[in-house]
Amino acid sequence: MDGHAPEYLVKLRSIPKESFLFGPSPIQSLPRLSKVLSPDGGVKIYAKRDDCNSGLAYGGNKVRKLEYLVADAKKQGCDTLVSVGGVQSNHTRAVTAVATASGMKAVTVQEKWVPIDPPLYDKTGNILLSRLMGGDVRLNQEGFHIGHKEATKEAMDSVKANGGKPYYVPAGASDHELGGLGFTNFVVELAEQEASMNIFFDTLIVCSVTGSSHAGLIVGAVAEGKGRKIIGIDASGKPVETKAQVSRIARNTAALLDPKLEIPDSAIILDERFHEGIYGIPGPSTIAAMKTAAQTDAVITDPVYEGKSMAGMIQLVKEGAIKPGSNVLYVHLGGQPALNAYSSYFE
């Protein structure tokens, strides 16, 4: 089969990865949300549920990416995954989960990326799950940015000092040579599902912060050449940095898979109207979008990521930026375990 496949697909299939997913994540029709946003039935909305993609500690988008990074860690003979995120990081929870399931250790640096202290914020949600799985959780006070952190280097050094062999996983499993592969493969997976469903999703909506989910989707869409539009919704509050990182990861991923595959600037779309000014804190549009999704098709989103991308999708349909006749796919990346830590926003 690979003899007739495009070069990028042959290369993608050749790169080792672990099997942490149930299989293709399910695609769910959202008829009630579609009717609310498009009463004349012109826009049909579906969700691809990457929040339901794995049995490892509630899954989520990071597990799809980590299939490639853990395979690489094993190849290098590493025994400990070291990573970084905020106190309520979905990513560090997923790193701890895949490490545990692979017989490895996890050291996660949990920083004060969100300048709030609601009740039990550092004791419930994602961080509780990491501790339950036996992760080595290290709290510090450094603030949010999507780059590489000194505290992670110190954690790597401490693992080495204790005789371990650490493997560095950047924030969000993003700014890594293999970081974009999981969501390039997502598009391949999606195309197979579309063929069986007899549908084509012309527009994909995805949350964008550390950038590799967004970047991988762009690479997959450009490589397949069907004109599929990927719209990233910024939730970082630092859209200039996020867009630069998405662009870099997309182009590096494309070069890894096929040196002739070029990512045009026009393919990199980041809507920066919905981040509410800051990472990790929901504003009125976030909370309204979360309630709309929950009270139509019982789709639960979180206040940090998916609530903001849901707000983006709702507005894009309402304002007509997504045209009648479109089949829209909301890429649900997960994140719901953090909800408990934000309960005070919903009283």
Q: Which residues are catalytic?
A: 89
Q: Token pair of 67, please?
A: 């299939």
Q: In whole angstroms, what is the distance from residue 174 CA to residue 65 CA?
A: 8
Task: Check: CB of residue 268 under 8 Å from CB of residue 247.
Answer: yes
Q: In whole angstroms, what is the distance from residue 329 CA to residue 116 CA?
A: 32
- Terminal CA-CA length for the chain: 55
User: Which residue in 271, 346, 246, 255 sits closest to 303, CA to CA?
Assistant: 346
How many C-beta neighbours within 10 Å does residue 344 have? 11
Q: Which of 176-210 are b and which e, b meaning 16 or more Cβ less than 10 Å from the residue's Cβ?
A: bebbbbbbbbbbbbbeeebeeeeeebbbbbbbbbb
Residue bearing tokens 């280097």: 153
Q: In whole angstroms, what is the distance from residue 25 CA to residue 54 CA?
A: 8
How many C-beta neighbours within 10 Å does residue 340 have? 15
Q: Token pair of 333, please?
A: 């990346």
Give bridge partners of residue 47 from the DSSP assignment: 28, 330
Encode 320-331 in three state secondary structure.
CCCCCCCEEEEE
Task: Check: CB of residue 209 under 8 Å from CB of residue 279.
Answer: yes
